[in-house]
Amino acid sequence: MARNRHDGRRGGTDLSGRLVAREATAAARVPEYVTRAPTGLYVGLNPTTKFVIALVEAAFAFLVRGWTGPLLVLAIVLATAVATHVTRRMIPYVLATLPLVVSIMLVNTFFYPGAHDPIGSIGPFTATWTGLVAALQATLRVVAFALSVAVFSLTTATDDLLSDLERRGLGRRGEFVIGAAVRTVPRMIERAGEIVDAQRARGLDTQGGPIRRIRGLLPLTGPMISSALGEVEERTLALEARAFTAPGRRTEIRRLPDTGAQRLLRWGSVLAVAAVVGATIAGVISLP
């Protein structure tokens, strides 16, 4: 009986040893382009580091009132975009903010509550200087947020970010939420391009003057909504097919580099922004 238990333990040890050896062999067969880590200024940072930087920039732009917050974030984001050569690729992100920017400018300029410094009137509506200043500051915040997301998305592979966050202990549901949020704008831009190409192939004229272009936006609305709903269903089925709710940790193919300096950068940036925001709210410091 004792011998049988000993043989069972030895068999279990041998089995676990074979599994470890098999995983090591499989990892050794992974192509080099899969395990190769990205390099370059900012691009070579750990995905979590870039994710924290993007969150810190957005928080600083929105929570620090006045001109300082959004202008400082815009300067940092534009410098990073130039250094990483993604400036032109950020144009679709800026264009995606235009409807929101236009609404912000109109509502704040003409309907800012309590403003009594008129610029001029258009019919029954009066534009005010106070509303215009508030509209410009809000627009800068929206653009700063959009560009910080754009730089992060264009320099970070979403799969790398999710893999690194999962390794750090993030649950699969949280991983899915972050992944869906990061992929939303690029996927919407890609889907809009596909729909425009399909509509043009069917004879729809979407080129020409501004009126014709605006008229061409109407046929995009229905396909955009229906395709978005269909994609939700397809994603749900794909998650179930890939055992999204299965217990246990998934096998880690590669480990992205992280350093003590990056950990210091993450915690230092979060604490610095929290200190500045708290000081401005408390009135300790006053920023323009």
Angle at 84 between CA 82 and CA 89, to 5 degrees: 75
- Domain boundaries, given as residue ranges, for the chain: 46-156, 168-245
Q: Which pLDDT does position 272 carry in this prediction?
A: 92
* HEC-encoded secondary structure of 195-229: HHHHHHHCCCCCCCCHHHHHHHHHHHHHHHHHHHH
Q: Which pLDDT does position 214 carry in this prediction?
A: 63
Check residue 165 and give left, alpha or beta (phi > 0: left; psi -120 to 50: alpha). Answer: alpha
Q: Which pLDDT does position 42 carry in this prediction?
A: 82
Q: Are 220 and 193 in contact (CB under 8 A)?
A: no
Q: Which DSSP letter does residue 90 get?
A: G
CA distances from 100 to 9, 138, 143, 188 (A): 65, 10, 10, 16
Q: Which pLDDT does position 11 carry in this prediction?
A: 47
CA 267 to chain centre: 20
Q: Which pLDDT does position 22 carry in this prediction?
A: 54
Q: Which pLDDT does position 10 carry in this prediction?
A: 46
As a whole number of angstroms, the distance between CA 94 and CA 147 comes to 7
As a whole number of angstroms, the distance between CA 24 and CA 19 comes to 9
Angle at 51 between CA 194 and CA 160, to 5 degrees: 65
Task: Look at the block and give the residue holding tokens 């993450």.
Answer: 266
**pLDDT tens series, the chain, 288 aa:** 444 444 444 444 555 555 555 555 544 555 554 555 666 678 888 888 998 999 999 999 988 888 888 999 999 999 999 998 888 888 877 887 888 888 889 888 998 888 888 888 888 888 999 999 999 999 999 999 889 988 988 888 877 887 777 777 777 777 777 777 766 666 777 777 777 777 777 766 666 666 666 666 666 666 777 776 777 677 777 766 666 666 666 666 667 778 889 999 999 999 999 998 888 888 777 777
Encoding tokens for residue 29? 């067969």
As a whole number of angstroms, the distance between CA 128 and CA 108 comes to 9
Strands 125-128 and 118-122 turn out to be antiparallel
Encoding tokens for residue 216? 């061409």
In the chain, where do the E strands start and end?
A: 118-122, 125-128
pTM passes above 0.85 = no
Instruction: Kindly report the backbone phi and psi dihedral angles of residue 205, in degrees, each rounded to the nearest multiple of 5, phi listed first.
Output: -95, 110
Residues with Cβ within 8 Å of 77's Cβ and at least 6 positions away in sequence, in order, are 57, 144, 147, 148, 151
